Amino acid sequence: MKGKKVYIILGSNIGGKRSYLDKACIEIEKAIGNIELHSSFYQTSPWGFESNDEFINKAIVVNTLLDPNDIMITLLEIESNLGRVREDNKDGYQSRTIDLDILLIDDLIIENDLLIVPHPRMKERKFVLVPLAEMAGELIHPTEKRSITDLLNICEDEEDVTRVF
């Protein structure tokens, strides 16, 4: 049976960053589905908050039969199991062991209390668009009606996104 393609961005800026990303991928494969594609790893500055700790980010494509809300619940559980602590913070952004965000699920448009797909700020963030374009540059964003590569080309984010491995 054909599943849904889920595009996820992973990030870490605490401790063994690459190890956290690798562990998250293992858990995603166990609980959600087969990872069909991995982007390269990218080093990026924190977005939306001040920190001396750079992020390592990568994107993946997962094939799954799970319901979108169940995917989100599972990703939150994986974050928690890998030491992610969500502190009340008026800005909403902070350093973290792991961050797992759903960017797209096929061409679905979802908005409920748990999940908004496409990710509402993905088109503003080069650290999301660069690894996503590496894997799926021709993919059409379901609400913007433009390719990921086009969105990257017009993105006004000036942060450096450097491929590291």
Positions annotated as catalytic residues are 84, 96, 99, 101
- DSSP assignment of the chain equals ---EEEEEEEEE-SSSHHHHHHHHHHHHHHHT-EEEEE---EEE--SSS--SS-EEEEEEEEEE-S-HHHHHHHHHHHHHHTT------TT-----S-EEEEEEETT--EESSS-EES-TTGGG-HHHHHHHHHHHTTPBPTTT-SBHHHHHHH------EEE--
